[in-house]
Structure 1
């Protein structure tokens, strides 16, 4: 499961990396949380556009928005089959820019958060899906992140990880490629530049959103700065 992530890369660097034709104003986010709006990249009229969508998928056929909090993630192994995701997987894929994500490792009766990123805080994208729900007063656009088995290097932290796309070629395949090529991207990130480190438990509180959340703690340091754990959200679908 992925329930928190960061996106702090400068907008111009994101525009170049993702070849976006138009950008939105972005401020650094160190603790992006479910049900908040976040930047996503979609193909429209043959060009890539960056838009703000709410994190937590609401399928177009859903009678209401109540399932959004439970559909922040989708299992890549079954995404082509499950009713909540299959239509979006076929027709509405997106890139979700990020430069790190957080997972919680069970330790005794508590949990220790870790930040997982690429060396140099290099930006990348999560493989995402988006939907437009139009049964309310106004249309609501939402997205979800796809997950896969964790790479062995971080499986001791959590057994799942988001699908990471790190190159322009992968971006193009995910947005516009053939089905077989897209499916091949739904795997653990296995490149050598994957890094991880324990971080402050302050990240468990959505009200905390500052650069200190990204700072690595010494592995021998006891992170005693208590804060609420993130709510149990995700998807088993």
Structure 2
């Protein structure tokens, strides 16, 4: 799964990376411990151009009676997207990208859970494949735009720690994933593959990252600990 990630670049760098034309009011600051149920930057395509905005992490299907779905849908398994009522229609019309520059997973070391940070070797930003939907609260009519991060089987590096990893799109596939007029689902599902092991690295970080209240750069500092 993917339950925590980071996005430590500035709003301006984010806009430049995804060639966003209509920037709007800056809403992002470097973040070192992004957690479910928080607002996260996301890119969608409106049919003519890419747009950058915020979605709440934890998808609520448009047809849901309440918001209790969110805690169960922070991730969506790529292999079963077309089998799940929450996701199957979104694959055709509501695909998004959630930018990140690392994600965390936990490993058990002598009875203690230790967080591991996974990132690209060049420390650059990457695009996690996602889906989004809009839910209208039946009580007050308020709209909520939410998202889920798609996962796949892990590459060799991640497999030492967890049996799932977020789908990291190749840069050349990002626009194909976003384009609304792309409806060849078989082609889209082929993009949901493990990111190459040789392009990633991992290292242990402080257990501080386990508390969502800890959001500083100390969350990504490498620590010296023996992992068996």
Q: TM-score scaled by structure 2?
A: 0.92
Q: Which residue of 1 aligns with 2:87?
A: 85
User: What displacement does 1:22 show?
Assistant: 2.4
Q: Which residue of 2 aligns with 1:180?
A: 186
Q: Which residue of 2 aligns with 1:4?
A: 4
Instruction: Provide structure 2 residue ranges, at least 5 long, that are not aligned to the other structure.
Output: none
Q: Which residue of 1 aligns with 2:55?
A: 53
2:167 paired with 1:158: no
Q: Which residue of 2 aligns with 1:170?
A: 173
> Counterparts of 1:145 and 1:182 in 2: how far apart (Å)?
15
> Counterparts of 1:126 and 1:94 in 2: how far apart (Å)?
9
Q: CA RMSD in A?
A: 1.6
Aligned length: 221
Alignment counterpart, residue 216 of structure 1, candidates 207, 215, 222:
222
Q: Is the 8 A contact 1:131 1:141 kept in 2?
A: yes
> Counterparts of 1:98 and 1:22 in 2: how far apart (Å)?
21
Give matches, 1:5-84, under 5 Å. Answer: 5-23=5-23, 24-84=26-86
Q: Which residue of 2 aligns with 1:226?
A: none
User: What displacement does 1:46 show?
Assistant: 0.8
After superposition, the C-alpha distances for 1:171-222 in whole angstroms (9 at most, x for unaligned) are: 1111124323211111111152211111100000000001111111224389
Instruction: Provide structure 1 residue ranges, at least 5 long, that are not aligned to the other structure.
Output: 223-237
> Counterparts of 1:160 and 1:45 in 2: how far apart (Å)?
31
Q: Which residue of 2 aligns with 1:119?
A: 121
Q: Is the 8 A contact 1:71 1:144 kept in 2?
A: yes
More displaced, 190-199 or 12-21? 12-21
User: Where is the helix percentage greater, Structure 1 or Structure 2?
Assistant: 2
> Counterparts of 1:31 and 1:196 in 2: how far apart (Å)?
16
Q: TM-score scaled by structure 1?
A: 0.88
Q: Which residue of 1 aligns with 2:108?
A: 106
Alignment counterpart, residue 149 of structure 1, candidates 153, 160, 165:
153
> Counterparts of 2:137 and 2:220 in 1: how far apart (Å)?
39
